[in-house]
Amino acid sequence: MDRSRQLRFGGKQIVAIVAALCSLGLVRLVIGAEKAPTPSITLPCTVVEVTDGDTVVVQLRLVTSVRLKDCWAQELGSGGEPAKRRLTKLAEGKDATLSIDLSDARRLGDVFSFGRVVGTLWIDGDCVNRQLVKEGFATKAKP
């Protein structure tokens, strides 16, 4: 993917986009129900590129970079190449669901890390974040 053409969004723009998606019924903000589920944003998406062992670029109707939550892989050049290859095999080009947890967010900036949305990636009902940790390609906590 040509990164020079990749869209970048700030906090106010993301809020406007999420509000528009909610009004179109494309996004549900889960705020309360019988058992008070964890507040989150869940979005259907397609993984278009694997950046490294713990970061993917997904396409919603816009393209954004996603930092996988609770999934820490070594950086490229420091031994992270196997994690990137595994994440590529698991995710690239596949339809997925991105879940952005809002339970601990006090402000919109709490769900971003270095310009990336922090989220959980699901493909075919499996949590990719947990799978990478389970297979030893990443750790749940930052080393």
Name residues whose C-beta falls within 8 Å of residue 143's C-beta, 6 or more positions apart in sequence: 72
Q: Please provide the DSSP assignment of 100-141 as one string.
A: EE-TT-SSGGGGEETTEEEEEEEETTEEHHHHHHHTTSSBSS
Q: Does residue 105 surpass a pLDDT of 70? A: yes
Instruction: Please name which of 37, 20, 28, 25 lies closest in space to residue 103, comparing C-alpha atoms.
Output: 37
What CATH fold (topology level) applies to the domain 3-134?
OB fold (Dihydrolipoamide Acetyltransferase, E2P) (2.40.50)
Show the CA angle centred on residue 24, arms to residues 19 and 29, nearest 5°. 50
- pLDDT tens for 39-68 read 778 788 999 999 999 999 998 877 889 999
Map tokens 């694997």 to a residue. 50
pLDDT of residue 6: 45
More confident residue, 103 or 65: 65
Report the predicted TM-score, pTM, of the whole model to 2 decimal places.
0.65
Strand pairing class (40-52; 95-101): antiparallel
Name residues whose C-beta falls within 8 Å of residue 42's C-beta, 6 or more positions apart in sequence: 27, 28, 30, 97, 98, 99, 100
pLDDT of residue 41: 80
Domain ranges for the chain, please list them: 3-134
